[in-house]
Amino acid sequence: MKTKQRRLPRRVREQQMIDAAVTAFSKGDYHTVRVEEIAEAAGTSKPTVYHYLGSKEGLFTACVRREAERLIQAIRRAVHEPPADAGDDPLRRGIQAFFTYVTENRESWTVLYRRAAVQGEPFAAEATRVRERVMAEIVDLVTTCARGGPRPSAPHDRRCPDAKDAQLMARIAVSTADAFADWLVEHPEESPDAMAGHVTELARSHLGQDRAGAAL
Amino acid sequence: MKTKQRRLPRRVREQQMIDAAVTAFSKGDYHTVRVEEIAEAAGTSKPTVYHYLGSKEGLFTACVRREAERLIQAIRRAVHEPPADAGDDPLRRGIQAFFTYVTENRESWTVLYRRAAVQGEPFAAEATRVRERVMAEIVDLVTTCARGGPRPSAPHDRRCPDAKDAQLMARIAVSTADAFADWLVEHPEESPDAMAGHVTELARSHLGQDRAGAAL
Amino acid sequence: MKTKQRRLPRRVREQQMIDAAVTAFSKGDYHTVRVEEIAEAAGTSKPTVYHYLGSKEGLFTACVRREAERLIQAIRRAVHEPPADAGDDPLRRGIQAFFTYVTENRESWTVLYRRAAVQGEPFAAEATRVRERVMAEIVDLVTTCARGGPRPSAPHDRRCPDAKDAQLMARIAVSTADAFADWLVEHPEESPDAMAGHVTELARSHLGQDRAGAAL
Amino acid sequence: MKTKQRRLPRRVREQQMIDAAVTAFSKGDYHTVRVEEIAEAAGTSKPTVYHYLGSKEGLFTACVRREAERLIQAIRRAVHEPPADAGDDPLRRGIQAFFTYVTENRESWTVLYRRAAVQGEPFAAEATRVRERVMAEIVDLVTTCARGGPRPSAPHDRRCPDAKDAQLMARIAVSTADAFADWLVEHPEESPDAMAGHVTELARSHLGQDRAGAAL
DNA sequence: AATGAATGAGAGTTCATTCAT
DNA sequence: GATGAATGAACTCTCATTCAT
């Protein structure tokens, strides 16, 4: 057990604060979380939190930013630098990575999807922007991949599904992943992979079907 | 337009309060909403709100209860007492009613789905219970109807999807409806019906596919 | 069981209100008692209470006045119109009556002695005045009787103990009675009479002793 | 005269708060006292009071605890470590110390005896417990000393007055001390010592008389 | 760099009191 | 005469935020 470290370099302390904040914000409402409790969990004091992150809103925003970045990187890695045994369908790999992230990083996802969504909040501005970057990433995934982008073997798919369809699919993918993550808590015997498969098919079928009849 | 009425009977005022509260809670976080602002919107004063509903939590709970009831009734009516031109697939009618409700009663739905979801809050207790009643209703819809319940013309559907599948489908339906409602705000040209169609198929396909190969 | 009477004559309703108020004020602090609860206990509504007694303070004052009057009358009756078997020492009869009243009318006494004593309260003015009337009555009892007033057989007692002593004795009598009343709740086997005897002796001895050596 | 100090260490501020609170609670009813006024009197702000003492009730309880402790210590010191010129009757010394305390620390005593007595109040719980410790201390004083405990020169006093008697005496002593403190305000020429003498005799006489005829 | 001390501002809640029927 | 309806005013308590060391 490490004893409480004092005088850590700023970079490290900041990360500890954000760690603590993600946990806290995932457990309760933005307003329910007290800055002090985060400071304590991070092994520091309130003023230090303010010194580093500026305000409660800044703290929250930092969480959203960092976690969004992690999620985006996870998807990109799965698409562009897949491990050897990951299959050769990048759309599927991407969606699977997304499902896996949501499932395995519940706190992170909760903050990203559930907390940052509250409109009319002071923090909404920046948070919403970050949130949209995540959506854009997934839209991009769907668009690029369904179009056969990195996937050489699907030439008939070459049409670009229009942005509208892609956006809708992205949203459905996200909402499904969210529902599924909850579901998994009660049914740990299920695997995210199966669900990811369903959604991949749904996406490909929907994006193809609508325009070309039989995309599969 | 009636001028602001003073001295209304309790029943009426209570409804006005709940009306105002639903609007307020749909716009902001539970904690962001000030009771006084609700009182004013309802044409009354804070003490009267407390006199009638007991507490902020009581007010919130009253909203959740009333709106949940309305949603459930809308679905039941669509399933059991459909208008003449409503098609003869009860599952589809139910899901359609659900999508329509979510789309047309955004405030109501927001309170029901987004606000009541914050776990670990004092107000969550009753709200969560009510929320589960709504889920149960939809599970019921999926289960009964997919099984061919009121739908005489689909004998091949007779398998009863097990509770697990039905629950997952219900959650996905709900989550998707929520996402779709947002979507509709940006794309008013889309109709809830089309979306309901998609989801109905998704449900039927999922419930069938997994266990019976090609149910459709 | 009488059904709740409506339309009672004012005099009666007022008494019911005061009854309820005495009970309520004896149970809790002045500020803890809610006017509404008194109204309900009296079988009426709040506005009626205000109509009759004017204000919470008025209600409280009415209680103090009525109960003080009752206590004073009880003492006077014991001194001046004693029952046949009551002994022929008027001082003792008076103190005994006082002890009995305090013991048997705990609510009344609590309001009179414990509640009306809080200084700095809005109601203090009138309540204190009434309270002082009670003290004066007891001082009077001690003074008159110890002086051999109505008691023919104690000529050596003729000196008038000065007001100061009498007042002190009165206060001691009162505080002792108060302590004793509490005591009796836990020890119902004791009788007020014995205690009254002690205090009577104490009074007589003190008032005599100090000035004349052997008053008894 | 020190100017109003800002930034005092917690321990000090807490004492100042309790000082101010004792004064405030002695002047008015628990409910009449506003926390803010205490904070101001203590040279701080409301939130600091809450930060340190937790709640109004906590503040009140802290007062009761501290003052009770002081009173008890005063009595113990008088009994066990008397100054040279204090006489050699420990019962008398104890009672005298008690009377002196009540007389000289009117605020403290008022809080202890008058405010903590309101039953059925939320704040009464702990306060009542502390109050009983004070009573127990006095009972102990009466019991031990009357039995001739530390008093070597009174062998005929050896009977142990039973707990019942001791308790009654303690209550009367307390109640009388309270009345006497009021009395002293109007008659500053009297001394607590004289009064203590009276009560000591009353106690010894009562404890002896009843059971043994003429104990003195 | 780090933190104990301190607070302004505001929220929920309660209650005596008054209308208007 | 009696009462449901309504509220002004006040109070406890909380929390993000800032000094001063």
What pLDDT, in 10s, does the model give residues B93-152?
988 899 899 999 999 999 998 887 776 676 777 778 888 888 888 888 877 765 555 444
Per-residue pLDDT, A157: 44
Q: What is the interface size between A and B, counted as CB pairs within 8 Å?
A: 74
Percent of chain A with pLDDT over 90: 43
The whole-model pTM stands at: 0.87
Distance, CA of C195 to CA of B111 (rounded, Å): 68
pLDDT, average across residues A124-130: 81
Report phi then psi at A12, rounded to 5: -65, -50
Low-confidence ranges of chain D (pLDDT < 50): 1-2, 150-160, 209-216
Torsion of the alpha carbons at C146, C150, C153 and C155, rounded to the nearest 10 = 60
Q: How many CB atoms lie within 10 A of CB C209?
A: 13
DSSP code of residue C112: I
Distance, CA of C28 to CA of C36 (rounded, Å): 14
Low-confidence ranges of chain B (pLDDT < 50): 1-2, 150-160, 209-216
Per-residue pLDDT, C145: 64
Model confidence pLDDT, tens digit, residues C158-212: 444 567 888 888 888 899 899 989 898 888 888 888 888 888 887 787 765 443 3
Contact C31 D28 (CB under 8 A): no
Q: Does D163 touch chain C (CB under 8 A)?
A: no
Per-residue pLDDT, C33: 94
Per-residue pLDDT, C86: 85
Contact C120 D29 (CB under 8 A): yes
* Cα-trace Rg, chain B: 20
pLDDT over 90 (residue A52) = yes
**pLDDT averaged over chain A?**
83
Distance, CA of A190 to CA of A211 (rounded, Å): 33
Nearest chain B alpha carbon to A194: B210
In this complex, whether C and B touch, counting 3 or more CB pairs under 8 angstroms, is: no
C59 in Cβ contact with C30 (< 8 Å): no
Interface test with C, best of D26, D132, D172, D204 (most C CBs within 10 A): D172
Task: Out of A57-71, A88-102, A159-173, D88-102, pick the least confident.
Answer: A159-173
The separation, in Å, between residue D34 CA and nucleotide F10 C1' comes to 10
Contact C176 D180 (CB under 8 A): no
Q: Does C27 touch chain D (CB under 8 A)?
A: yes
The separation, in Å, between residue D55 CA and nucleotide F13 C1' comes to 8
Per-residue pLDDT, D3: 53
Q: Which domains does chain D have, with CATH numbers?
A: 64-212 (1.10.357.10)
Contact A29 B118 (CB under 8 A): yes
Residue D25 is inside which H or E element, if any?
Answer: helix D10-27
SS3 state at B123: coil
Q: Which amino acid, residue C160? A: C
Contact C176 D174 (CB under 8 A): no
Model confidence pLDDT, tens digit, residues C31-79: 999 999 999 999 999 999 999 999 999 999 999 999 999 999 999 999 9
Touching A (3+ Cβ pairs <8 A), the chains are B
**pLDDT averaged over chain C?**
83
Which member of A114, A119, A187 has the closest CB to residue B117? A114
In this complex, whether A and C touch, counting 3 or more CB pairs under 8 angstroms, is: no
Q: What does each C-alpha distance from B170 to A19, A176, B144, B210 come to in angstroms?
A: 33, 11, 12, 16
Distance, CA of B129 to CA of A151 (rounded, Å): 46
Find tokens 């109040």 and name the residue. Answer: D121
